[in-house]
């Protein structure tokens, strides 16, 4: 069956989309995204031997991860994961930095593995950065993660993990982002040889449970007109996801929002906190006591606070919480933060009279004309 048809099948939404909501492909894609996560796991499982061969044969000195906009934020989530799991230095940067300032990114005596992330495979900066990397690195190797085959970026890659079921009509990335994140975490699990890929299947049932359990909370918070600004806090593996949540809020609802590392928020930005503020914390596994202290302090300054967390936290610490209870390690469950954060931006947009299917000023892909920068 055509993956697109299957994923857009309204029956997949039965009981998920509120009856009073306008038909929206962005909402459909958010609510059905666990189907694309399944496809991502299958895609990586099929590439298992090629991934292991890559890792055994090449002696990379470091890993560079790159993309643009949402896929740059995805790179920010993937690089620390790879460094933590593979023990190799890994950095994320926007493709434009790799393209325009290569000496600030790649040291001359290194052999970096370049991981490119791109939903479309057609973004000019990412293509040009890859071309520049290949010209400079004779022994280089490019691993691409995307949603479309037969693109210029796939043609430039030595190995591509493509999740066609991540394709979407929406301009803003939702299902594509989360399916590429699952693919990256699955690939890292394989290369680290630490745990079984099969246990990531739990993501699917947990994803459906989170969407159905917390859909109303996301809608309630999104529709709360007393909020004038939003702050998304994340550290370690979660900082890139906090940046993506911030972008969803901006792209869809045109709201004032920013993303920070958790402990950075006290160093100035918290001056903006008042009773019209929602502070959203993406709690980590190992630093949650520090992170909850920040949320408690912001609550004392008048903000309302939402925590997304694997394990339940005290209602003394936060106003609202989304609990995953997946049983998965932090290196395999990042995707579970995303659905509620995407729905928060979606319902804020609707409440403000915007159409998330037609985000202001945006197109799905940035293609720069040849000769134009």
Q: Which residues bind ligand F1P (CB under 6 A)?
A: 67-71, 118-120, 123, 126, 173, 364-366
| CA 266 – CA 298 distance, rounded (Å) | 9
Residue nearest ligand F1P by beta-carbon distance: 69
If the CB atoms of residues 119 and 175 are measured against ligand F1P, the closer one turns out to be: 119
If the CB atoms of residues 227 and 250 are measured against ligand F1P, the closer one turns out to be: 250
If the CB atoms of residues 115 and 307 are measured against ligand F1P, the closer one turns out to be: 115
Question: For 128-143, b where at least 16 C-beta lie within 10 A, e where not — what string?
Answer: bbbebbbeebeebbbb
The neighbour count for residue 356, using CB atoms within 10 Å, is 26
Closest distance of CB 216 from ligand F1P, Å? 27
Closest distance of CB 169 from ligand F1P, Å? 13
What is the CA 167 to chain-centroid distance, rounded?
15
If the CB atoms of residues 271 and 363 are measured against ligand F1P, the closer one turns out to be: 363
Closest distance of CB 67 from ligand F1P, Å? 6
Angle formed at CA 153 by CA 59 and CA 110, multiple of 5 degrees? 25
Closest distance of CB 369 from ligand F1P, Å? 16
If the CB atoms of residues 28 and 130 are measured against ligand F1P, the closer one turns out to be: 130
Contacts 24+ apart (CB under 8 A), 3-10: 3/39, 3/164, 3/165, 3/167, 4/167, 6/35, 6/165, 7/32, 7/35, 7/36, 7/165, 7/175, 8/32
If the CB atoms of residues 68 and 186 are measured against ligand F1P, the closer one turns out to be: 68
| CA 291 – CA 288 distance, rounded (Å) | 5
If the CB atoms of residues 118 and 304 are measured against ligand F1P, the closer one turns out to be: 118
Angle formed at CA 92 by CA 72 and CA 145, multiple of 5 degrees? 60
Closest distance of CB 361 from ligand F1P, Å? 11
What residues pair up with 322 in beta bridges, in sequence order? 308
What residues pair up with 290 in beta bridges, in sequence order? none
| CA 31 – CA 55 distance, rounded (Å) | 35
Closest distance of CB 154 from ligand F1P, Å? 12
Closest distance of CB 272 from ligand F1P, Å? 24
What would you report as the CA-atom Rg of the chain, rounded to the nearest whole angstrom? 20
């Amino acid at each position: 069956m055509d993956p697109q048809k299957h994923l857009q099948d309204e029956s997949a939404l039965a009981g998920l989309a509120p009856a009073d909501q306008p038909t929206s492909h962005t909402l459909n894609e958010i609510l059905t995204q666990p189907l694309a996560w399944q496809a991502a796991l299958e895609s990586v499982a099929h590439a298992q031997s090629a991934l292991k061969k890559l890792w055994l044969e090449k002696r990379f000195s470091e890993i560079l991860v790159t993309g643009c906009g949402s896929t740059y934020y995805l790179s920010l989530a993937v690089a620390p994961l790879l460094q933590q799991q593979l023990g190799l230095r890994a950095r994320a940067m926007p493709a434009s930095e790799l393209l325009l300032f290569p000496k600030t990114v790649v040291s001359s005596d290194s052999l970096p593995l370049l991981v490119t992330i791109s939903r479309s495979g057609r973004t000019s900066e990412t293509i040009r950065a890859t071309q520049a990397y290949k010209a400079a690195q004779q022994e280089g190797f490019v691993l691409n993660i995307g949603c479309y085959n037969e693109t210029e970026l796939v043609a430039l890659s030595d190995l591509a993990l493509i999740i066609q079921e991540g394709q979407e009509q929406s301009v803003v990335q939702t299902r594509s982002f989360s399916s590429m994140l699952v693919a990256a975490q699955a690939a890292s699990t394989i290369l680290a040889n630490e745990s079984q890929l099969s246990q990531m299947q739990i993501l699917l049932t947990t994803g459906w449970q989170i969407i159905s359990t917390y859909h109303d909370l996301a809608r309630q918070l999104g529709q709360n007109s007393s909020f004038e600004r939003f702050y998304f806090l994340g550290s370690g593996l979660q900082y890139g996801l906090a940046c993506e949540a911030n972008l969803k809020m901006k792209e869809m609802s045109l709201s004032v929002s920013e993303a920070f590392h958790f402990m950075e928020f006290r160093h100035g930005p918290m001056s903006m906190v008042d009773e019209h503020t929602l502070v959203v914390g993406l709690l980590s596994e190992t630093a949650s006591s520090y992170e909850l202290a920040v949320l408690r302090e912001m609550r004392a300054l008048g903000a309302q606070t939402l925590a997304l967390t694997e394990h339940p936290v005290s209602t003394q610490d936060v106003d609202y919480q989304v609990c995953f209870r997946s049983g998965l390690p932090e290196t395999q469950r990042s995707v579970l933060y995303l659905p509620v954060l995407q729905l928060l931006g979606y319902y804020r947009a609707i409440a403000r009279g915007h159409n998330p299917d037609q985000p202001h000023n945006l197109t799905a892909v940035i293609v720069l004309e040849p000769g134009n920068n």
